[in-house]
Amino acid sequence: MKDKNKSGEIGPITPKVRRREAFRIRREAALFQRDHCLPDHLCNGDEDLFPNKIGNFSKGLPHNYLGEVDLNAYNAFIRALTTGNPDDFEAIPLGGDLKLANPQAAYVFDLVGPDSHQLGIAIPPAFNSAWQASEMAELYWQALTRDVPFAAYDTHPLTCAAASDLSKFSDFRGPKDGEKVTTGTLFRGNTPGDLKGPYISQFLWKDIPFGATTIVQRYRTALAGHDYMTSYQEWLGIQNGSSPSSSNVLDPITRYIRNGRDLSEWVHRDFSCQGFLAACLILLSFGQGALDTSNPYLHSSTQDGFITFGAPHILDLVAKAARVALETAWFQKFLVHRRLRPEEFGGRVHNHLTGAASYPINPELFHSSVVGEVFSKFGTYLLPMAYPEGCPAHPAYPAGHALVAGAGVTMLKAFFNESFVIPNPVVASSDGLSLLPYSGPSLTIGGELNKLASNIALGRNTAGVHWRSDGIEGLKLGEKVAIKILEDYVKTYNEDFSGFSLTKFDGTTITIE
């Protein structure tokens, strides 16, 4: 009997040709990524310069009474990283209950975008440099000013003192007004948009349209005045991997982010791409005028974007970029830099100034008034932490939050109109209980996305768990990750599409086509 069923497939090419085209696109994308020049992955040399490893991350391994790592344990750590053998990772001696945070992620391969080992990053500050000293001073000041409302920065004695003090460092690389750090540049990022308007991005304040509901961005935060790891024994125990003796005391009232402590707690609890998915939903609520002018559906009389150039497309790429960014960060963290965390450096400062040890810390730090301010308040020279457990169990450089931020906002810039002026901007009240109208210079999508990236990257500094350079350089590397992913995807669309255009963090404009 004759089969009455017929193929229902139509289209411009046959299934066999389609299969060949799919293979060609994937193969050419792989070749494109393969043929890029490989960078030299250079580090600051601290690991070789200091035999006792005082310039390197070692949290969770066993330490002596100075907080210096047991060298046998550190060598086992290096052996595992060198071989990549899972059994060698299981043989690393730990000092307590804390486990290392996924070091084998440094070896994972991905099928989209750049390989995690393919992109380079600047060399971070050396342990004994003036640059490192200035970054530590900034972190001490950020710890002391966590409870100062951003709205009070211009007049509060502590923020005024911080700006004046940081201006004296010979190699402080935060933003300045002329040659001076001011209360208007204090603790801000270095991107275009960071210095315009309120400290916090509109995307961390405005309501988030979330399906059939709306998320009001009032969050649980920690109570004022609760700082941690300022006792030496507590600090030492946590370096050895012990659990903290206390936990964050949370404010029972939810608040809009209004100070450094609130921002610290936001980046304590967020999931990897949370801020950028939320920003995407806010941007989509602004309507077609907020879309990038290259969107092929803006001028179509018969079609709208959806799976391509619509919400599912953008949300997917934001989330996809986050994981590739973290893979890239983990390679740099574990296999290149192994940079110590600020809390570890704080222990070096304390032991040096109390005479328990002698370390080659740049003297500019000891000329800063902030060192005495910290000792006067807490009785040690340790860095007061916003989190009882301190930093996570992976090296500092670069910051994972920063790479995700750099990748996430770069994806959003590729799909949205960066010059679009954000309607009805707001600013949080000093108590964080309400949003007030903002009446300063116009705020654009591009500027506020840059600010969002810096808020999330440098918010980890406010908590004490990262350095400024971890965040600033991490943003740039995350940006590279997103651009490489877009280079893979730009050839995959059927629409008449001129390419993705966006402004990088350094202010230059590129088109990916």
Catalytic-labelled residue, pool 63, 350, 394, 466: 394
Q: CB-side exposure of 40: number of CA atoms within 13 Å?
A: 4
Q: Determine the 3-state secondary structure of 177 from DSSP.
A: strand
**Considering only CA atoms, which of 475, 471, 483 is closest in space to residue 449?**
475
Distances in Å between the alpha carbon of 334 and those of 89, 236, 271, 424? 13, 22, 22, 44
For 241: left if phi > 0, alpha if psi spans -120 to 50, otherwise beta; the answer is left
Which residues lie closer than 8 Å to 61 by C-beta, 6 or more apart? Answer: 69, 70, 73, 74, 77, 92, 93, 94, 95, 240, 241
What stretches of 217-341 show up as alpha helix (H) in DSSP? 232-239, 260-269, 274-284, 311-330
Q: Identify whether the C-beta of residue 314 lies closer than 8 Å to the C-beta of residue 380.
A: no
**Considering only CA atoms, which of 270, 227, 220 is closest in space to residue 432?**
220
Q: How far apart are CA 386 and CA 388, in angstroms?
A: 7
To which residue do tokens 């990916």 refer? 512
Which residues lie closer than 8 Å to 31 by C-beta, 6 or more apart? Answer: none
Catalytic-labelled residue, pool 63, 117, 350, 401: 401
Which residues lie closer than 8 Å to 187 by C-beta, 6 or more apart? Answer: 138, 141, 142, 145, 174, 199, 260, 458, 461, 462
Q: CB-side exposure of 361: number of CA atoms within 13 Å?
A: 25
209-239 core/surface letters (b: 16 or more CB in 10 A; e: else): eeeeeeeebbbebbeeebbbbbebebbbbbb
Q: How far apart are CA 164 and CA 147, in angstroms?
A: 19
What stretches of 331-399 show up as alpha helix (H) in DSSP? 342-353, 369-378
Distances in Å between the alpha carbon of 64 and those of 67, 137, 365, 486, 501? 5, 26, 25, 48, 53
| Cα 313–chain centre separation | 23
Q: How far apart are CA 175 and CA 156, in angstroms?
A: 19
Take residue 210 and report the two structure tokens written for it: 């979330």
Q: 350 an active-site residue?
A: no
Distances in Å between the alpha carbon of 17 and those of 25, 66, 155, 175, 214? 12, 67, 69, 55, 46
Q: 401 an active-site residue?
A: yes
What are the residue numbers of the active site? Answer: 394, 401
